[in-house]
Amino acid sequence: MKKQSNLSKLMGYAGRHRILTYLSWILSVISALLALVPFWYIWRIIHDVLAVAPDFAQAGNIERYGWFAVLFAVISIVVYIGALMCSHLSAFRVASNIRKTLMHHIASLPLGVTERYGSGNLRRIVNTSSSATETYLAHRLPDKAGAIATPIGLLVLLLAFDWRLGLLSLIPVALGFLIMMKMTGAGMEQKMQEYQNALSSMSNEAVEYVRGIPVVKTFGQTIFSFKRFKAAIDSYEKWVIAYTKALRLPMMFYTTAINGVFAFLIAGGILLSRDGVTDELLLNLIFYIVITPVIGTTLTKIMFMSEDAMIAGDAINRIDEVLREKPLPGSAVNDEPKDNGVILEHISYSYDGKKNALNDVSLTIQPGQTVALVGASGGGKTTLANLIARFFDPQKGRVLIGNTDIRDIPKEILMNKVSFVFQNSRLLKTSVLENVRMGNPAATRGEVIHALEAAQCMDIIKKLPDGIDTVVGGDGVYLSGGEQQRIAIARAILKSAPVLILDEATAFADPDNEVRVQQALSALSEGKTVIMIAHRLSSVTGADCIYVLQDGVIVESGTHSGLIEQNGIFAQMWKAYSEAAEWKIEKEARV
């Protein structure tokens, strides 16, 4: 099967506007050829001046030729503007359709895929990659059409007046073209991909670093706590410096070659004037000196167009990579869960295909039961919770809610069945009312207020200038992490999903907010099946069952008291946690 070209892929997004892209090329070619006509009138002016020298008053056509030169230059500019208008209309439509297609597709992907890419990387693909295609279509392709037409027209002019000088002026052009091809070949394409990878990595790590600033401030860390961000900057720096040094010599030779045309013309003029300088030779030499700088400008344009074509090609590959990601498969069964129980049967999952984040995990959570997942970071707690919410599917085993495989539950029903409160909940820049109403778009204002009351949010609402109609993030209205968490819990209360997953929900709350968040969670958890991920072991003492995960395997399970009596891993964790809490209390007492 023939591989589809990048241009064909872009035209697939253009729709009826693709005709404007092709029209822009035609107009650009016409503009480029019209731009050469003034040079012919310049040659006529030089010819008339030399013919009547030194009695310049006899040159009666100079003014007429000058006005014709100006007229064709203006017409060329107007036609070029028309070409750009056509190309921009098509390019804007293509970029807009790419962004719409990407966002619709990303919205259909499991959260596991978006987590793997990283929000910074995805945002760069949606914004920067689509912008690269816009620049390519709006400017580079019309300019490329004109740049191809210009040398053809120049070749006719160069050979029409004096073929000997014309051939001499083409020698440095050929040298410059060969050097340019060396710089913009397959190696350059690989380098451009590496450059975009370095930019994407740095952008993604920058976003993650900015998001982690609250943690930096809370725990008094420095920038060196974010080694991946610094490593991305260092890697980009090394790559750019090495790449610049590698192109230093080729660029120097290229610049010398395209600007060396004057040396060839002067040498040719000296050789051709050995038998004496004729008016015709002088006329042609002056004309060639005037017109040959256009060659260098055109070649440089072509070189940068090749670079931009590589950037656009890399952008299209990144867009296609995201679009090749598959949404989670649906099912023709479309069953509904019979109850709120959760069962995991021999679940295994790996992010990289090498090491399992979860390895043959099985557990049963009865309807209305509260269970806790504890263990060291990287043990598989969040992965397990993500599988229950079907952020991605396990590679082995299956997850059941109400004795129904979640792959057989329609997405809308599953989302109404499961509610997720993250450790760092985010609010949209809209009113508190609409932020909470996202949990149930059909909810009345009174139901929203009731949910806010249950989530212990009324102290927040009272201090806001417009109450629940206050826009979060607007006019200097900002909420602390704990306050945002309580608003998010109100959203979950309004949703009233029977299965609730709490991912370290009090992690970023200050002591005062933590008490209120715990009260809100108690209201939210009432009568629901609750799966808690916790590092603060004091928050899981009342759980019906605690599962201890280590390296993707459940190593212990039982009630708090039962696990303490076992004197195993959990007992050691509890001892270390209790000693740390006592040390903190003693330290505060001394202060």
Report the CATH number at residue 529: 3.40.50.300
Predicted pLDDT at 306:
67
Residues of the chain with pLDDT under 70: 1-3, 56-57, 158-163, 166, 183-193, 196, 200, 203-226, 274-279, 282-283, 296, 303-307, 331-332, 423-425, 474-476, 505-514, 580-591
Whether the model clears a pTM of 0.85, i.e. scores above it, the answer is: no
Q: Are residues 246 and 158 in the same domain?
A: yes
Predicted pLDDT at 473:
74
Predicted pLDDT at 492:
85
Q: Indicate whether 411 belongs to any domain.
A: yes
Q: Are residues 189 and 284 in the same domain?
A: yes
Contact between 421 and 488 (Cβ < 8 Å): yes
d(Cα 459, Cα 544) in Å, to the nearest integer? 32
Nearest alpha carbon to residue 316 among 10, 23, 569: 10
Q: Are residues 309 and 358 in the same domain?
A: no
Burial environment of residue 60 by CB neighbours within 10 A (0 to 12, 13 to 18, 19 or more): exposed
Contact between 164 and 272 (Cβ < 8 Å): yes
Q: Are residues 164 and 293 in the same domain?
A: yes
Predicted pLDDT at 27:
95
The domain of 406 spans 342-427+493-590
Contact between 451 and 436 (Cβ < 8 Å): yes
Q: Are residues 380 and 318 in the same domain?
A: no
Domain count for the chain: 2
Predicted pLDDT at 72:
92
Burial environment of residue 437 by CB neighbours within 10 A (0 to 12, 13 to 18, 19 or more): buried
Q: Are residues 260 and 392 in the same domain?
A: no
Q: Are residues 239 and 364 in the same domain?
A: no
Q: Indicate whether 438 belongs to any domain.
A: no
d(Cα 473, Cα 461) in Å, to the nearest integer? 14
d(Cα 526, Cα 497) in Å, to the nearest integer? 11
Distance of alpha carbon 14 from its chain centroid, rounded? 21
Grouping H, G, I as helix, E, B as strand and the rest as coil, residue 135 is helix
Q: Are residues 198 and 265 in the same domain?
A: yes
Q: Indicate whether 475 belongs to any domain.
A: no
Residue at token pair 């009090």: 506
CATH number at residue 194: 1.20.1560.10
Residue at token pair 């050979």: 159
Predicted pLDDT at 290:
72
Predicted pLDDT at 230:
75
Q: Indicate whether 1 belongs to any domain.
A: no
The domain boundary residue, chosen from 324, 359, 378: 324
d(Cα 63, Cα 57) in Å, to the nearest integer? 12
Predicted pLDDT at 418:
87
Q: Indicate whether 37 belongs to any domain.
A: yes
Predicted pLDDT at 89:
92
Contact between 157 and 169 (Cβ < 8 Å): no
Strands (E), 92-149: none
Peptide bond into 54 cis (omega under 30): yes
